[in-house]
Amino acid sequence: MRPIAKRMAQIPFSAIRTMLERVTKLEKAGADIIHLEVGSPDFDTPQHIKQACQQAINDGQVQYTSNYGIMPLREAISAKFSADNQLDYDPQNEIIVTNGVSQGIVATMLALLDPGDEVLIMAPIFPAYQSAAQMAGAATVTVPVYAKNDYQPQMGDLIAAKTQQTKMVVITTPGNPSGVVFNRQTLQHIADFAIDNDLLVISDEIYEKIIYDNCEHVSIGALPGMRERTITLNGFSKSHAMTGWRLGYIGGDAPLVDAIIRIHQNSVVCATTFAQWGGVAALEGTQQPTLAMVEECDRRRRLMIEQLQKIPQISFVRPQGAMYIFIDVTDAPLDAFELANALLEKVNIAVVPWDERHIRLSYGNSYENLEIAMKRMQDYFAGRSDGVRDLESQINPIKSKC
Ligand SMILES: Cc1ncc(COP(=O)(O)O)c(C=O)c1O
């Protein structure tokens, strides 16, 4: 018997989730671990958004909606695209409310890619893109981006990665895991490349609002000649601390959206009805909680930058967006996978090994916890930690039996 589809061999269980599951088990057994692995803001969803959702349930908003989403939310998204991104999408047929950006990625790739197509991804990148392309039978081709260029992709690397099969380019700005914000010149180069080679572009802008140092967020879909070839993905998970709501959205030219809606319709029908009313409140209500959250994220980012700079074995590019610091551990005695294990076991910090040379640290944790985590990391790299906080010694065996 061969019960599993062949393509599943190419689709790994997420390393981030693997680490989280391991850590959750250890915590259940009594270990005191500081989480730097998950990209989930540790903030609560703003009250007015929760109230709108509760009101929607009380008002009986509990049945299916249009496959595209409720019209008030599509109109609010259209207004947001226009005001923030200079993108003009018709709420009738150019916007889909999705179950988070994750589902938007899968629906877009299933709708727009054929087996044999190639998708250019600029690595390091959020891993869901690779898996979604595999689900569509397409292949991903990596365009490397380098710390020496502040993780801004270079035209020569794009050209080198392109083949006859290339159909799509994926960009994520601000980026996960690097925190890079693509500047206007980079985006213009990518746009020129896409137009010259008649390529589609997926632009994941989920971290748009989490941006620092007065950086400018530019939507590639708004550059001349890009509207008809760009799908813009965004959502509420990060900007409004709503990861558990599973709410995102897609904007794109009608013929592209017409294909995507048919995948969406046949897979999830619509985003959760009452969550969509929370989305309306998120876009139309006060943005003060988002501004306060970003200010706090920036305070944490600056703390981590300052403390990580004291560790000689690591290096990193100062992130300008998102909620991560991507550290290069080439000069450490262990590779990134061994190091992640050692940090967990010796100093009780959970991190994500991204590849052999890099680790992603998330600052979706309190300032106080980050202060402790940075101290523990400094201790570990200075060789002051062995046996001091050994995980096994903290696990209460009685608790672990319960
Ligand atoms: C770049 C990027 N895109 C998409 C997602 C998934 O977002 P959502 O919660 O809307 O599915 C994440 C989550 O970490 C992400 O980092």
Q: Give residue 399's pLDDT.
A: 31
Residue 144 CA, ligand 1 centroid: distance in Å: 21
- Per-residue pLDDT band at 22 (split at 50, 70, 90): confident
The answer to whether the beta carbons of residues 98 and 73 sit under 8 Å apart is: no
The answer to whether the beta carbons of residues 327 and 312 sit under 8 Å apart is: no
Q: Give residue 20's pLDDT.
A: 78
Q: What's the pLDDT tens digit per position in 241-252?
A: 999 999 999 999
Question: SS3 of 335, please?
Answer: coil
172 Cβ closer than 6 Å to some ligand 1 atom: yes
46 Cβ closer than 6 Å to some ligand 1 atom: no
Distances (CA, A) of 310 to 98, 381, 383: 42, 10, 14
Greatest C-alpha distance within the chain: 65
Lowest mean pLDDT among 35-44, 54-63, 68-77, 332-341: 35-44
Q: Which atom of ligand 1 is nearest to the CA of 236?
A: 10
> Which fold, 6-44+288-394?
Aspartate Aminotransferase, domain 1 (3.90.1150)
Residue 331 CA, ligand 1 centroid: distance in Å: 30
Q: What's the pLDDT tens digit per position in 251-268?
A: 999 999 999 999 999 999
206 Cβ closer than 6 Å to some ligand 1 atom: yes
373 or 399, higher pLDDT: 373
Q: Which atom of ligand 1 is nearest to the CA of 248?
A: 10
Q: Give residue 386's pLDDT.
A: 55
Between strands 118-123 and 139-144, the pairing is: parallel
For the cut 60, the answer to whether the pLDDT of residue 336 exceeds it is: yes
Residue 389 CA, ligand 1 centroid: distance in Å: 33
For the cut 50, the answer to whether the pLDDT of residue 49 exceeds it is: yes
Rg (C-alpha) for the chain, rounded Å, is 22
For the cut 60, the answer to whether the pLDDT of residue 388 exceeds it is: no
Dig out the tokens for 233 from the structure: 């993905």
126 Cβ closer than 6 Å to some ligand 1 atom: yes
The pTM for the full model equals 0.93
Distance between CA atoms of residues 360 and 37, nearest Å: 7
CA 97, 98, 104 angle in degrees (round to 5)? 125
Residue 14 CA, ligand 1 centroid: distance in Å: 13
176 Cβ closer than 6 Å to some ligand 1 atom: yes
- Per-residue pLDDT band at 387 (split at 50, 70, 90): very low
243 Cβ closer than 6 Å to some ligand 1 atom: yes
**Cβ neighbours, 10 Å, residue 192:** 15
Q: Give residue 393's pLDDT.
A: 52
Q: Which atom of ligand 1 is nearest to the CA of 175?
A: 1
Question: SS3 of 366, please?
Answer: coil
Distance between CA atoms of residues 260 and 98, nearest Å: 11
Distance between CA atoms of residues 39 and 62, nearest Å: 30
Residue range 69-85: mean pLDDT, rounded: 98
39 Cβ closer than 6 Å to some ligand 1 atom: yes
Burial (CB count <10 Å: 0-12, 13-18, 19+), residue 3: exposed
The answer to whether the beta carbons of residues 168 and 201 sit under 8 Å apart is: yes
Domain extents for the chain?
Answer: 6-44+288-394, 47-284
Distance between CA atoms of residues 31 and 224, nearest Å: 54
- Per-residue pLDDT band at 7 (split at 50, 70, 90): confident
Q: Give residue 395's pLDDT.
A: 47
Average pLDDT over the chain, rounded to an integer: 93
CATH class of domain segment(s) 47-284: alpha beta
Q: Give residue 400's pLDDT.
A: 28
What's at 381, amino acid-wise? F
Question: SS3 of 356, please?
Answer: coil
Ligand 1 pocket test, candidate residues 238, 324, 360, most atoms within 8 A of CB: 238
237 Cβ closer than 6 Å to some ligand 1 atom: yes
What's at 143, amino acid-wise? V
Distance between CA atoms of residues 192 and 201, nearest Å: 11
- Per-residue pLDDT band at 389 (split at 50, 70, 90): low
Distances (CA, A) of 395 to 25, 345, 375, 390: 11, 11, 21, 9
For the cut 90, the answer to whether the pLDDT of residue 150 exceeds it is: yes
